[in-house]
C-alpha cells in the first residue's frame, strides 16, 4: 500500500515539475514577445506581413519565374526560393553521382584509381566550403575569357566570364507527358516493396537511358547563338550559380564517397568470395551483391548529406548568388526593416524543407529495409 502511495506521489510530483517548467517557458516567451512589440512601437516599425504586397523596386540577375522591379516583395521571395531549389536539386544529383563513383573507386584494386579517389576525398572535404566557393568564383570563373573568346563544346555549350550558356528544350505537352511518365516510373521503382534492388537498378538505368535518347533525338533544342556582345537563346547560367553548384557538389561528394565506401564495406567479405567463386565479374558482384545490401547502410547517412546540401546552399550569398538568403533575408530585409517577419519566413522555409527531406529519406529507408 505504501509503495503504491509512493508511486502515486512521485507521478504527481513529476507532473507538477513539468507544468511548472512549461509555465516558466511560457512566461519567458510572453516576456520576450512583449519586449519585441514594445521596441517595434518605439521605433515606429509596423509588424505584420503587409509589406509582402508592396513593390520591391530592385532587379534580380537570375529570375527563373517572371519578375520585374515593379513586382512585389512576395514575388522576390518566390524568385529567391526557386533559385535555392535549382542549386540544391542540381547539386544533389551531381554529388550523388560523383560520390558513388568515387566511393566505389576507393575500393578499387587498381592502385592508381584508389589513390586518386582517396586524394580527392581527403583534400576536398578538409577545405572549408566557403573557401572552395571563392576559389571557383574568383579564381576560375571570373578569370575566364570574354564572350567572343568563349570555350565552346561542339557549338552547343559555351563557357565564359558571363557564365555557362546551354541549349534550352522546346517541349510541347506530349514531350512533358513522356518526361513525367519516366519520372513516375522512377518514383515507383524507388518505393515499391516487392521489387528487388537489382531490378530497381536495371529498370531505372533503362528508363534513364530511354529519357536521354528521347531528349536527344525527339526533342528540339534551341542553341545559344552569339549575336552582338552576348549570346541569344538557350539558357544562361550565371557564374554565381555555376561556382556554387560546382563547389557544393564536389564538397558534398567527398562525404558521400565515404558514406558509399562504408556501406559497401559493411557487406561481409564472404559474400564477395562466394560470388567470385560462382564466376561473377567484379561489376556483377557490385551490382547484384554489394550495392543492394550496402544501400541499407548508406541511406540514413545520405540523408544527412542531402540536408547539408540544401542548408549549405545559403553560402551562395557570399558571392551574391540571388538565392533566398541573398534576395529575401538580405535585400528585402534591408529595404523594409521587417526583420522579425523576414527572418521568421526564411527560417520556416529552411526548417520545413529540411524536415521534408529528412521525413522522405526516413520513409524510403524503412521501405528498402
In CATH, what number is assigned to the domain containing residue 291?
Answer: 1.10.3720.10
**pLDDT for residue 265:** 87
| Domains in the chain, number | 2
User: Does 3 score more than 60 pLDDT?
Assistant: no
49 in any annotated domain: no
pLDDT tens-digit profile of 259-284?
999 888 888 888 878 888 888 887 77
Supply the pTM of this predicted model. 0.83
Q: Contact 365/299 with Cβ under 8 angstroms?
A: yes
356 in any annotated domain: yes
Q: Please give the grid coordinates belonging to residue 156.
A: 552547343
75-85: average pLDDT = 95
Band (168; pLDDT cuts 50, 70, 90): confident
Number of H helices, E strands in the chain: 13, 8
pLDDT tens-digit profile of 84-96?
999 999 999 999 9
Strand partners, 235: 166
361 and 271 in a common domain: yes
Domain of 14 in residue numbering reads as 2-44
User: Does 166 score more than 80 pLDDT?
Assistant: yes
User: Does 41 score more than 70 pLDDT?
Assistant: no
232 in any annotated domain: no
235-244: average pLDDT = 92
pLDDT tens-digit profile of 53-76?
999 999 999 889 999 999 999 999
305 and 345 in a common domain: yes
267 and 339 in a common domain: yes
150 in any annotated domain: no
78 in any annotated domain: yes
360 and 247 in a common domain: yes
360 and 312 in a common domain: yes
100 and 6 in a common domain: no
110 and 21 in a common domain: no
Q: Contact 217/175 with Cβ under 8 angstroms?
A: no
Q: Round the average pLDDT of the chain to a whole number and report it.
A: 86
Distances in Å between the alpha carbon of 321 and those of 167, 199, 324?
Answer: 22, 41, 9
Q: Which long-range contacts (CB under 8 A, 24 or more apart) does 277-283 make?
A: none
135 in any annotated domain: no
Q: Contact 55/76 with Cβ under 8 angstroms?
A: no
88 and 17 in a common domain: no
252 and 356 in a common domain: yes
Q: Which of 121-130, 187-196, 250-259, 309-318 has the lowest mean pLDDT?
A: 187-196
**pLDDT for residue 112:** 93
1-16: average pLDDT = 68
CA distance 6 to 341: 49
6 in any annotated domain: yes
CA distance 44 to 23: 31
Strands, DSSP E only, in 21-127? none
pLDDT tens-digit profile of 173-195?
888 888 888 888 877 776 666 66
Q: Which of 2-16, 213-227, 266-280, 312-326 has the lowest mean pLDDT?
A: 2-16
Return the top range by mean pLDDT from 24-38, 169-183, 343-357: 343-357
351 and 302 in a common domain: yes
Number of residues written out for the chain? 369
User: Does 1 score more than 60 pLDDT?
Assistant: no
113 and 30 in a common domain: no
pLDDT tens-digit profile of 102-125?
998 998 888 999 999 999 999 999
99 and 21 in a common domain: no
157 in any annotated domain: no
Amino acid at each position: 500500500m505504501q509503495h503504491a502511495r509512493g508511486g502515486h506521489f512521485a507521478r504527481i510530483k513529476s507532473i507538477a515539475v513539468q507544468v511548472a517548467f512549461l509555465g516558466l517557458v511560457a512566461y519567458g516567451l510572453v516576456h520576450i514577445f512583449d519586449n519585441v512589440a514594445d521596441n517595434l512601437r518605439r521605433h515606429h516599425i509596423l509588424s505584420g506581413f503587409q509589406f509582402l504586397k508592396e513593390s520591391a523596386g530592385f532587379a534580380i540577375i537570375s529570375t527563373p519565374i517572371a519578375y520585374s522591379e515593379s513586382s512585389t516583395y512576395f514575388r522576390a521571395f518566390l524568385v529567391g526560393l526557386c533559385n535555392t531549389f535549382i542549386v540544391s536539386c542540381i547539386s544533389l544529383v551531381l554529388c550523388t553521382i560523383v560520390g558513388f563513383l568515387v566511393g566505389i573507386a576507393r575500393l578499387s584494386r587498381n592502385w592508381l584509381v584508389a589513390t586518386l579517389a582517396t586524394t580527392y576525398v581527403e583534400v576536398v572535404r578538409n577545405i572549408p566550403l566557403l573557401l572552395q566557393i571563392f576559389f571557383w568564383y574568383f579564381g576560375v570563373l571570373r578569370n575566364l575569357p570574354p564572350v567572343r573568346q568563349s570555350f565552346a563544346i561542339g557549338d552547343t555549350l559555351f563557357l565564359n566570364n558571363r557564365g555557362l550558356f546551354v541549349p534550352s528544350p522546346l517541349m510541347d505537352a506530349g514531350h512533358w507527358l513522356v518526361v513525367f511518365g519516366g519520372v513516375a516510373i522512377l518514383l515507383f521503382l524507388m518505393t515499391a516493396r516487392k521489387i528487388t534492388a537489382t531490378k530497381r537498378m536495371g529498370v531505372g538505368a533503362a528508363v534513364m537511358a530511354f529519357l536521354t535518347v528521347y531528349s536527344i533525338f525527339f526533342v528540339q533544342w534551341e542553341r545559344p547563338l552569339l549575336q552582338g556582345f552576348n549570346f541569344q537563346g538557350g539558357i544562361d547560367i550565371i557564374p554565381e550559380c555555376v561556382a556554387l553548384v560546382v563547389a557544393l557538389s564536389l564538397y558534398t561528394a567527398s562525404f558521400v564517397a565515404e558514406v558509399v565506401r562504408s556501406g559497401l564495406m559493411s557487406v561481409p567479405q564472404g559474400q564477395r568470395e562466394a560470388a567470385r567463386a560462382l564466376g561473377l565479374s567484379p561489376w556483377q558482384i557490385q551490382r547484384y551483391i554489394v550495392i543492394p545490401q550496402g544501400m541499407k547502410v548508406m541511406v540514413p547517412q545520405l540523408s544527412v548529406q542531402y540536408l547539408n546540401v540544401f542548408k549549405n546552399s545559403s553560402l551562395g550569398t557570399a558571392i551574391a548568388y540571388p538565392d533566398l538568403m541573398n534576395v529575401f533575408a538580405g535585400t528585402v530585409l534591408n529595404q523594409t526593416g521587417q526583420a522579425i517577419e523576414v527572418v521568421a519566413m526564411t527560417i520556416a522555409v529552411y526548417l520545413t524543407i529540411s524536415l521534408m527531406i529528412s521525413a522522405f529519406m526516413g520513409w524510403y529507408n524503412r521501405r528498402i529495409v
